[in-house]
Structure 1
Amino acid sequence: MRRLYNSLFILALMVLGLQTAQSDDVIDVIGGQEGAMPVAVIPFAVSGGVSAPDQDIARIIGDNLARSGRFEVLSRDELVARPAGLDDTRFSSWRGLGMDYLVTGRMEMEDDNISVTFELLDVFRGNRIEGRRYQLDPRNLRSLAHAISDIIFEEVVGLPGVFSSQIAYVEVEERDDQRLHRLMISDADGHRPREVLESPQPIMSPAWSPNRDRLAYVSFEAGRSEIYVQNLRTGEREKIASFRGINSAPAWSPDGEHLAVTLSRDGRANIYLLRVSDGDTRRLTDHWAIDTEPTFSPDGEQIAFTSDRGGRPQVYKMAVNGPGGVERVTYDGDYNARPNWSPDGRRLAMVHRHDGDFRIAVHDLESERTRVLTDGPWDESPVFAPNGDMIMYSAGGSGDSQLRTVSVHGRANQTLPRSGGLTREPAW
């Protein structure tokens, strides 16, 4: 029901004709690649009877690095040479282009496997930062490209890469006058999609368990909202919330033992803590307003959520255990919703109404400043990457929904490929 609640909030604001109340604490950082590190990713040399493989490993690496917003990847049309490694690299040429780094590599066939070597070169110092050799089945080249991208990102940026991770999302497609909803999993770049579940009824709010072996989600296959947990290894699934009224917006606790959910079993939409092992529930909020879209802090001690208890949707937080009560977090603008806590616990990504459009913003919990990252007009469902350096979200609204990524610095806003219909509600 989370999308329904968001729609109700948006509709109420539109009917009232409210305009966004801008604050000096709102910073618009939408923009290009300023500050990104220049890198050239050279097409890998092919030898030893190897024909050009179907997967362009250098292209995949370059696309990954560019999508992170941390790197500005040189176009292949501008390459002044195509070295295969340190020994045949003339660094002066690359310094003249302003490059900071080079990525080079070569491939050759060894029996039924392919040998791949890559090197990360420092243009300024003229030396090798990292170099590795792999032997693998050619069908695994895309996975290797993601792994190499992770290595490069961590060596240069100092944060773990996320290119080998997976995302979950909902795909909606019209077929034979019927709307089909699919729960999907793919690589973080949107490639290699795999269907987990298909239903003619809506599927919403997928959420990864901490150890990545289960997905919680909301399904309407019984004609009303129910929460399921699906084991991705066995394919088995369990219905864990089917109370009277609303069952929605599941969010895993960091220990994987509980889900924070929205239930209206007592007549009002409140946040509950649900123990996955036995379904035991404990109510965390008790208010006449709509309390929904919970997200755990990384230490599991707090929950942030959306509520219209102040008259308009805003983000609040509260302790999971012990005293403290509910504290309002956001005050900038008349609409802030769908919070997602960053892995370091310092920020919340959220949907923020800005200049009349719904955009993705990041709220710093210490400085209490909000930065707008996207253009809108219908951006929703933000989720941090596991390293906290990128955000994935759904853009375009219900008419042309697609997944996009943006760096937390507001750079490299890119669209992920779609294999079928509309894509929405990402989980990373």
Structure 2
Amino acid sequence: MLKRVFLGFILSLTAAVSTAHAALELVITEGINSARPIAIVPFKWEGQEPLPQDISAVIASDLQRSGKFNPLRVNDMPQTPYGESEVDFDQWTNTGVDSIVVGAVTQTETGDYRVNYQLIDIVRGQLTQGDAKALSSDGQLVSSRDHILFNKVATVPKNRMREYAHRISDLIYEELTGEKGAFRTRIAYVVVQEDADYPYQLRVADYDGYNERLVLRSKQPLMSPAWSPDGSKLAYVSFQNGQSEIFMMDIYTGKREKLTSYPRHNGAPRFSPDGDKLALVLSKSGSLHLYTLDLKTRKLEQLTKGRSNNTEPYWTPDGDSLVFTSDRGGRPQIYQMSENGGTAKRLTWQGMQNLSGQITPDGRFMVMVNQNNSGQFNLAKQDLETGAVQILTETLLDESPSIAPNGSMVIYSSTYNQANVLSMVSIDGRFKARLPLTNGRVRAPAWSPFLK
């Protein structure tokens, strides 16, 4: 019975319906009012044609999605300066904003775009008005400019303007939080178009749903996409040959390689942090068990044994162990085991059952799907040191969590208006957003690593 529950939960991830080219659209559901106010002033542009990309709008959306910033509406800005010299610090102080971003865009003779932008600390700027002085390294008094947190210039091709806007967002995020930004990342997900000749589709998009690209289509189910550490490959499960098999695909060349095709179930692939191994689940011996596959030698090692069912492996950030879901204690709970096998340690105790455990990049927390005593499936976060559990979401059926590579956000599948949509929640649970696809559903998202 429990084996059927496991397989049913896994197979449910393949159910999805979507339009072919719709972009994911952010809908804020709660939490933005508690975030840090910031102003992204519209960048100056004096060209004859419209800019190919509204850079400031992309930056504002990025920072808002992070859950840590609340960008001021343009209509609420006391002024729209394009450089530090135009900033009236007294006016900005009254808005409650402590940092603003200003910039200008010009077109070069080659047709590229020159982007000049600054991040300015309003509080410091007000304190240093009147040409404040500071001591230089050689003991001389010089004008203090420490309120300009950075001042950068870049030349950007037309087709990379949106990408560079994400780059600016990363710089702002890191400067103000001390954490690396994750706006130049991607998500992979499975889509089903029931009326199409190839209804099952594996798609890749920017983290915010733009630049969506079809990388694989099939007449049979596709499921469980997982990124390689360098972001160039996806491992996934396919039923194209009448049974579940695990493939690895280069998303740039389209080259595919079959990795496993054992009797019965082949599923839940997950790359190790160094990319040398793949954790996976096989049932060739009867029960569902965890294995690792060396991607160079193709050597297969079995980690779990016995009659229990074990699935959903996820590597710890150091690559020394895995967390996984097992029914060895009765109901499914999450356990941890060395990458070499051995004794498993139970990690979860609260709720009826816990599944789909993933460790945050800093190793402090585990995000999981928790079923409460009322039967609802919600995302939860467990402190791995204290064991304290925080429920992050409150909808009826939340599943397939995937953590951003900087650990700040989680993307997952949820139910809204009797449809499956992608949603985001900040790691502290304060900020939530929904990313619906028009006329359809999408599930099983996988957030990419940092991309070079």
Q: Report the secondary structure of 1:295's partner residue.
A: strand
Equivalents in 1 of 2:353, 2:48: separation in Å?
A: 56
Match of 1:87? 85
- On the 8 A contact 2:316/2:363 being kept in 1, the answer is yes
Amino acid at match of 1:242: S
| Aligned CA distance change for structure 1 residues 237 and 9 (closer, same or farther; 3 Å) | closer
Per the alignment, residue 118 of structure 2 pairs with 119
Q: Cα distance 1:322–1:226, how it changes in 2: closer, same or farther (>3 A)?
A: closer
Shift of 1:104: 1.2
Change in CA separation of 1:9 and 1:279 when aligned onto 2, cut-off 3 Å: closer
Deviation beyond 4 Å, 4+ runs, structure 1: 8-11
Aligned with 1:53 (options 42, 51, 57): 51
What CA distance in whole angstroms lies between the structure 1 residues aligned with 2:361 and 2:42?
Answer: 34
Aligned in 2, Cα 1:67/1:236: closer, same or farther, shift over 3 Å? same
Q: In structure 2, what residue type is equivalent to 1:166? A: R
Aligned-residue sequence identity (percent) comes to: 39
Cα distance between partner residues in 2 of 1:169 and 1:303:
23
Which residue does the alignment assign to 1:340? 358
Post-superposition Cα deviations, 1:51-90, rounded to whole Å, max 9, x if no partner, equal 3224211111001001101111112231221111211111
In 2: Cα distance, 1:88 partner to 1:302 partner: 54
Match of 1:134 among 151, 154, 158: 154
User: Higher Cα Rg: structure 1 or 2?
Assistant: 2
Task: Check conservation: 2:304, 2:341, Cα contact below 8 A.
Answer: no
State the partner residue of 2:192.
172
* C-alpha distance in 2 between matches for 1:133 and 1:265: 57
Aligned residues: 406
Q: State whether residues 198 and 217 of structure 2, in contact with CA within 8 Å, keep that contact through their aligned partners in structure 1.
A: no
Q: Aligned partners of 2:417, 2:309: CA distance in 1, in Å?
A: 22
- TM score, norm. by length of structure 2: 0.85
Distance in 2 separating the partners of 1:360 and 1:104: 38
How do residues 280-295 of structure 1 correspond to structure 2 at under 5 angstroms? 280-295=299-314
The residue number in structure 1 matching 2:134 is none
> Normalized against structure 1, the TM-score is what?
0.90
Number of the residue aligned with 1:273: 292
Question: Counterpart of 1:65 in 2: which secondary structure?
Answer: helix
1:344-423 to 2 correspondences below 5 Å: 344-354=362-372, 355-396=374-415, 400-416=419-435, 418=437, 421-423=440-442
Which residue, out of 54, 66, 69, partners 1:68? Answer: 66
Residues of 1 paired with 2:417 and 2:434: CA distance? Answer: 16
Asked if structure 2 preserves the Cα contact closer than 8 Å seen for 1:171 and 1:182, the reply is yes
Residue equivalent to 1:330: 348
Looking at structure 2, the residues matched to 188 and 10 of structure 1 have their Cα atoms a distance apart, in angstroms, of: 24
Tell me which amino acid in the other structure corresponds to 1:211: D
Q: Following the alignment from structure 1 to structure 2, what is the Cα–Cα distance between the partners of residues 419 and 31?
A: 21
Partner residue in 2 for 1:38: 37
CA distance in 1, matches of 2:336, 2:396: 27
Corresponding residue of 2:168: 148
Asked if structure 2 preserves the Cα contact closer than 8 Å seen for 1:378 and 1:397, the reply is: no
Quote the residue 1:25 is aligned against. none
Q: 1:290: Cα distance to partner?
A: 1.8
Q: CA 1:398 to 1:336, structure 2 compared with 1: closer, same or farther past 3 Å?
A: farther
- Kindly provide the CA deviation profile for residues 218-266 of structure 1, in whole angstroms up to 9, marking residues without a partner as x: 0111121100011223221110010001000001111211111110001
Give CA deviations for 1:140-197 in whole Å, capped at 9, x if unaligned. Answer: 1100110000000000001111001112111222325x67111111111111111110
Tell me the distance in 2 between the aligned counterparts of 1:398 and 1:417.
11
1:417, distance to aligned residue in structure 2 (A): 5.2
The CA RMSD over aligned residues, in Å, is: 2.3
Preserved CA contact (<8 Å) 1:218 1:249: yes
Q: Secondary structure at the match of 1:240?
A: strand
Q: 1:227 maps to which residue? A: 246
Alignment of 1:231-310 (within 5 A): 231-310=250-329
Shift of 1:3: 11
Shift in Å, 1:34: 6.0
State which drifts further: 418-427 or 364-373: 418-427
Which ranges of structure 2 fall in alignment gaps of 5 or more residues? 13-28, 126-146, 448-452
Q: Give deviations 1:101-131, integer Å, cap 9, x for gaps.
A: 1111111111211111111111111121112
Any idea what the Cα deviations from partners look like across 1:310-336, whole Å, max 9, x if unmatched?
A: 22111111111265x011110010121
Name the residue aligned to 1:101.
99
Which deviates more, 220-229 or 349-358? 349-358
Q: Which residue of 1 aligns with 2:18?
A: none
Distance of 2:409 and 2:382 partners within structure 1 = 14
Contact 1:191 1:417 in 2 (8 A): no
* Per-residue deviation, 1:206: 0.6
Q: Does structure 1 retain, via aligned residues, the 8 Å contact 2:52–2:161?
A: no
CA shift, 1:4, in A, is 7.1
